[in-house]
Amino acid sequence: MNILASRVTNACLYVAFGLSFSLLCGGAAAAEASTSRVGSVPTAISGTTPSEVLKAMTPSTFLQAVALRNLEVSFGRQSIAVADAVFRAESALYEPLLFSSYRVSSLERQRTPEETASNVLSPFASETLIDEIGRTTEVGVRQRAPTGAEVSISVREIGRRSNLLAKANTTLESRAFLVLNIKQPLLKGFGSDVTEADKKVAELEASAAEWQYIQQLHKVSSDALVVYWQANAAQETLRWRELLLKTTDELIRDSNQRVLAGKLAPRAELDLRRVRATRQVDVVRARQTRDELFTRLLSTLDLDAANLSHLSLQADEVPIQLDDGRRNESLARWAPFRISQVRKKQGEIRLAYARNQRLPGMDVLLSYGQSGLGDKVGAGAWPIARSGAYPEWSAGVNFEIGALGNQKAKNQWLAQKHRVEQATVEMNAIRQTFLNDLFVKQIAVENIRKERALIIEEVTTRKLLLDDERKRFEAGMGLLSFFLQAQQDFTESNIRLVEARGREESTKIAFMLASGALLPTHGIDTRLPQDP
């Protein structure tokens, strides 16, 4: 019997320690896996720095610099690190807990008549008092399991000294225990839906943080590119205004010679100076607009305004493909939709947890231990306890149920159920809005292209009219006012063409943002987060 008890004890100890070791390794693996999640964050692949591209900046190099230097984007990367740290913290829920205790007790009391009578022939039968000092030491490990169970293994030693032991020619009585306790929920608290709820929610939150970072990166990038094309339009507008002013100065010098030669009335020179003053005002305004937009670009790159004079923008056209056959692929890359999916999954996890909390509490309690008794003179207590000669065990069941039906858990479950329904409605609304918006943006790109083509046709016509008025004026057959108006009309049509180009690029940016092609088109790596 003792051999059988010893084998049972050793088997229980091996199983319990094996469970602790496997769960510890599993927790470490989960932490390692969570650390690798950061590698899925999109990063700029360009090695260039903003200072190297200011003098000949293109939309792609500008956007890469934004991804590297923008403060809002950097803040988003920190949010990912925060969410990942929270997930790693929740992944340590199965980490074994080592515990220990040391307790000292003292007892002084009278011996009862029963104690005295039962030991009438013993050496200490005349002792009427008990003076005892005890010391208890315990060391063990406690571990949670995915099933919701709590397993603890401990070793305990109790040492006792007393005046009665001294009469028996010994100074110490020692008792040793090997204890295994298991508490397993059967209803409420059972399963990984309960034990790993916070971990699963934190894992999804880490995924949501990555999608929020992508959303923020797209928003910052699209806004920055819109400003880029506005600044480029302002730069080109200033160039046309300065060219018109330069042409006016040349015309004034030519008119002076014509007035001296008697081929032109003196009043014409005054009219030209009036026109020149007006065009100088236009140049000043255009330069102010350009400088304001250039400063906004530098702020986006977290650079000082002292770099304003070094900034020059190139108007590289970015081709796009208008294909509505990949709308579902675009939807899968749309950050707000993916975030809504994550929120719904989080709600479903919380709903499963709330559903479990409605159940009655029923726990199975198992306890097994071995003990041994020894003294300082005789054999020690530990060999006896390890032998399994004196086993102790107990088994029981605890049951708890709300007296009024557990109203708190019931209503929490109902509230969470409604939250999941809300998340479903929100996800469907985002999906439909996105598909409609993608369709509208595609039409907008087609329309702005038609508008730009018409303006190009207007510019061509204005150029022909300007050439005709110049020939007439130089031949002395045309009026100066007609020539000046033709110059003004040609310049204004070119400015409208520049503005139309900026609007076209802004419309293309909105379409590429919706279709998920904005960042890859400009050379930025966008490894999308994997589903947890």
DSSP letters, 122-135, are: STTTT--EEEEEEE
Return the pLDDT at 161: 83
> Is the separation of the CB atoms in 311 and 297 below 8 Å?
yes
Residue (of 139, 113, 151) closest to 13 by Cα position: 151
Residue 491, in any domain of the structure: no
> Rounded to an integer, what distance in angstroms lies between the CA atom of residue 486 and that of residue 464?
10
Q: Which amino acid is at 41?
A: V
Nearest-angstrom CA–CA distance, 235 and 232: 5
Q: Does any domain span residue 518?
A: no
The total number of structural domains that make up the chain: 1
pTM: 0.75
Q: Got the DSSP string for 24-78?
A: HHHHHHHHHHHHHGGGGS--B-----HHHHGGGB-HHHHHHHHHHH-HHHHHHHH
The predicted pLDDT at position 45 comes to: 38
262-268-272 Cα angle (round to 5):
135
Beta-strand pair 150-162/97-110: unpaired
Q: Is the pLDDT of residue 17 over 80?
A: no
Query: Using one digit for the tens of pLDDT, what is the confidence trace for 332-390?
Result: 888 899 999 999 999 999 999 999 999 999 999 999 999 888 876 445 788 888 888 88
* SS3 of the chain: helix, strand, coil, percent, to 5: 65, 15, 20
Q: Tokens for 437? A: 């918006």
Note whether residue 113 is domain-resident.
Answer: yes
Is residue 26 one of the residues assigned to a domain? no
User: Which residue would you say has higher pLDDT here, 28 or 91?
Assistant: 91
Cβ within 8 Å of residue 396, ≥6 positions away = 364, 365
Tally Cβ neighbours within 10 Å of residue 408.
12
Res 226 pLDDT > 80: yes
For residue 22, what pLDDT band results from cuts at 50, 70 and 90?
Answer: very low
In a domain, 441, yes or no: no
| pLDDT above 50 for 146 | yes
What pLDDT sits at residue 4? 38
Q: Who has greater pLDDT, 357 or 2? A: 357
8 Å CB contact between 347 and 418: no
Residue 270 burial (10 A CB sphere; 0-12, 13-18, 19+): exposed
Please tell me the predicted confidence (pLDDT) of residue 249: 84
Gap between the Cα atoms of 39 and 37, Å rounded: 5
Q: Is 176 inside any structural domain?
A: yes
| 71-90 and 197-260 helices, crossing angle to 10° | 170
Domain span including residue 125:
97-191+361-406
Q: Which residues have C-beta within 8 Å of that of residue 61, sequence separation ≥ 6? A: 46, 48, 53
Per the prediction, the chain carries an average pLDDT of: 81
Residue in the block written with tokens 């204890």: 179
Residue 278 phi/psi, 5-degree rounding, is -60, -45
Give the closest residue to 480 by CA, choosing from 255, 197, 323. Answer: 255
**318 domain-assigned:** no
Report the pLDDT averaged over residues 204-209. 92
Cα atoms found within 13 Å of the Cα of residue 42, Cβ hemisphere only: 27
Does the structure show a pLDDT above 50 at 221? yes
Q: What is the pLDDT of residue 68?
A: 81
Report the SS3 class of residue 365: strand
Q: Which amino acid is at 13?
A: L
Spatial contact of 195 and 29, defined as CB atoms under 8 Å apart: no
For the stretch 482-509, pLDDT in tens is 888 888 899 899 999 999 998 998 899 8
Does residue 470 surpass a pLDDT of 90?
no
d(Cα 62, Cα 53) in Å, to the nearest integer?
Answer: 8
Identify whether 522 is part of a domain.
no
Q: Is the pLDDT of residue 11 over 50?
A: no
